[in-house]
Amino acid sequence: MTLPSGWSAQKLAEFLAAVSSYATEYSAADGAVERVAESLDAEVVAVVTPGAAVAAIGYPEGAVPVAELVAVARGHRRELTVPGAGSRPAAVVELEHPPGARMVVARSGPPLSPDETGLLHAMARVTSMALRMIRSLDDERALRRESQRKSAENARLLETLTEHQVRLERLAAEQAALRRVATLVARQPGAGHVLGSVMEEVGQLLGAGLTQMLRYEGAAAAVVAGWAGPQLRGPVMPLATRVALEGDALAGFVFREHRATRVNSGSLGTGGALAEHLVACGLRSATAAPIDVEGGLWGVIVAGWPARTPPLDAETRIAEFAQLVATSIANAHARSEVVRLADEQAALRRVATLVAEGEPPAAIFASVAEEITRITHVENGYVVRFEPDDTLTVVATRGELGYPHVGATRPLDGDGVAARVYRTGRPAHVLVPGETLVSSVGAPILLGDRLWGAAIGTSATRSAADLDDADAVHEAGRVAEKRIAELADLVAIAISNADAHAQLTTSRARVVAAADDARRRLERNLHDGIQQGLVSLALALREAESMAPTDPPELPVALSRIVDGLGEVLDELREISRGLHPANLAEGGLEFALRSLARRSAVPATLDVRVTGRLPDRVEVPAYYVVSEALTNAAKHAQASQVDIDVAATDGVVRVSVRDDGVGGADTGKGSGLIGLVDRVEAAGGEITITSPPGGGTALLATFRLADR
């Protein structure tokens, strides 16, 4: 191909650079037709698809004859109306991109010469390459935005999961402390021992620097117990020390108002003798909560912190311990109640521990049903889920009353306890008289504002007439409502945690799958589009080099450099394409791709693959990257001399093992590529273990289940 006068390979390259510089595909098409028109002295140039004109020049705004341009582009007409010049011969060139597009050129002057036609073909090819490149870049940017959106969504889910975990850990710690105190009270040791233990539990649970318990005695309060943290600058007040209540902002306030209070750093120093003692010990804020015994104000619990303000819920949490203190002081009559409370807290702790450890919801449901029968002393406990069709499904049951098995469904009609909870969204207590009096108590399981189901306990007595105290049945029902409601709250947290974890896992898998699909498409587009275009352009330039005149002598040299440069660009593009997605994995399967990896490995590698047929993409892709990353680490960091790769599929499980004899010491916590590898394997539903003792080499073992769980 001979270039027209005034044109060179350099100008063609400049044309490519100019068209490629536009931000969007449409603006690049507009820029291309303008430059083609200028180069060929043509009044009309257009890029036409089967149904539209993508870009056109030479017509007034809003007056582009799309139908005529499409007819010429499809070969139905050979001439095109040029504004001001009438019907003129048109030149039509196919574009590789957009699909089915053609470039149409017409001018008032003579038809295009052979050289100009060749130049038109070259500019059309360059235009196709530029438009395809811009489209690929647009797709990549869209993928990046979607990936960023998914990452933000994952971060929100992880934050929610973390918040639930923190709440559960705090609840488990609080319930453990309450259980220890309740158990101690139930054993009925000396009062001093019980009160001292309460002060220690409160201080450690709330992170306080000092806790004191005082008993009200007329116009003063006497110290009866205390505990000091290890960092406290001074001692607790000695036992029997009396503090005047007049003007006191802590014990005096509780005595006057009969409610809890808090004092921040700004006023603690002027709050009376008790507050001044806290300041002298290096504390800056405090709370005081009342202790009520048998309906009367008995004393106060005071806690101090080095922070400027106490914890937000300190008064509420201290109040629970104050109740235990009151129980201990109530003595013999309270003993049975303390034992009951210890059992209750133990039950809550057992369930809370299961939730905190991330046990599946089914295990939580079964534990709650069992704990209902223990705490409320009823014959049957169960958990039900409300369905959209006004029915319930039994998800857990324990006891002896023969309630339907797990998975059974029942309509939510009538006036049973489940139906009442379903209609009102509140706890319910239902008594069904007859030969046997059946008492049922239920509490709703709420996920935010949504009623998910209910936790229910049922008991039976011989008859209402046999009861010594009919009011006792109602009182027991009210107590049971409270206890079952606490268990229902734990069930709700467990379900929320399971949902959040499932959403996080699913989202991670979608992100990885989307990224793999995008890489696969990008690799295919690069290979089938831009890469082939560059090859064709290199051949055309090589042909132009052979046809170029020897004068000036710099022209052949310049063309040769351009062809060599295109070759280097093509090699780099092939390397990038191979890195985006291994084509040999999609074409030949895992064994074929791994053998290619082993052959190219910088460290000698042995490979043993015992897999029959192809594996699912969700297994093949992460398995390939496990081996690829392991070989890369062995070459870059491990100083290894040998790598052994073993892949086997047995009993529905694929195991990928990679071992090297390097220096070891690989650590996923130090920001290496192993972190991304762990995320990729777990997102595919697999598991990975990395063993890398210093001096002992590195071993990776990834396992994938072939069947979805």
pLDDT at res. 599: 87
Residue 611 pLDDT greater than 80, yes or no: yes
pLDDT classification of 178: cutoffs 50, 70, 90? low
Torsion angle defined by CA atoms of residues 27, 30, 31 and 34, in that order, rounded to the nearest 10 degrees: -170
pLDDT classification of 570: cutoffs 50, 70, 90? low
Tokens matching residue 563: 């062809």
Tell me what the pLDDT averaged over the chain comes to: 78
pLDDT at res. 465: 42
Considering only residues 650 and 375, tell me which one the structure prediction assigns the higher pLDDT: 650
pLDDT at res. 709: 43
pLDDT at res. 414: 80
CA atoms within 13 A on the CB side of 606: 8
pLDDT at res. 350: 76
Considering only residues 495 and 415, tell me which one the structure prediction assigns the higher pLDDT: 415
Return the axis-axis angle of helices 25-40 and 114-186, rounded to nearest 10°: 170
- In what helix (H) or strand (E) does residue 240 lie, and over which residues does it extend? none
Dist. CA 494–CA 453, nearest whole Å: 13
pLDDT single digits (tens) 56-88: 998 988 888 989 889 988 989 898 988 988 899
Closest-CA residue to 676 (of 519, 512, 527, 514): 512
pLDDT single digits (tens) 460-487: 654 444 444 444 556 666 666 777 777 7
Closest-CA residue to 650 (of 610, 707, 708): 610
- Please list the residues that pair with 223 across neighbouring strands: 214
Tokens matching residue 680: 């990729």
Considering only residues 371 and 521, tell me which one the structure prediction assigns the higher pLDDT: 371
pLDDT at res. 206: 82
pLDDT at res. 699: 92
Residue 336 pLDDT greater than 80, yes or no: no
Dist. CA 337–CA 349, nearest whole Å: 18
Q: Across residues 214-232, what is the average pLDDT?
A: 85
pTM comes to 0.34
CB atoms within 10 A of CB 636: 12
Dist. CA 271–CA 281, nearest whole Å: 15
Considering only residues 158 and 502, tell me which one the structure prediction assigns the higher pLDDT: 158
pLDDT at res. 135: 85
pLDDT single digits (tens) 262-277: 888 777 767 788 888 8
Classify 472 as helix, strand or coil: helix
Residue count (the chain): 709
Over pLDDT 70: what percentage of the chain?
A: 74
What are the angstrom distances between the C-alpha of 622 and each of 11, 279, 703? Answer: 46, 60, 10
Residue 166 pLDDT greater than 70, yes or no: no
Classify 309 as helix, strand or coil: coil
- The CA angle 220-222-224, to the nearest 5 degrees, is 160
Dist. CA 97–CA 536, nearest whole Å: 15
Dist. CA 129–CA 566, nearest whole Å: 14
Residue 530 pLDDT greater than 70, yes or no: no
Which of 137-151, 204-218, 338-352, 446-460 shows the lowest mean pLDDT across its residues?
Answer: 338-352
pLDDT at res. 182: 63
Considering only residues 501 and 454, tell me which one the structure prediction assigns the higher pLDDT: 454
pLDDT at res. 566: 65
CA atoms within 13 A on the CB side of 223: 19
pLDDT at res. 541: 67
Residue 488 pLDDT greater than 50, yes or no: yes
pLDDT single digits (tens) 395-450: 888 876 656 778 888 888 888 888 888 888 888 888 776 656 677 888 888 888 88
Instruction: Give Cβ neighbours of residue 19 (< 8 Å, ≥ 6 apart).
Output: 28, 31, 32, 35, 126, 127, 130, 131
pLDDT classification of 645: cutoffs 50, 70, 90? very high
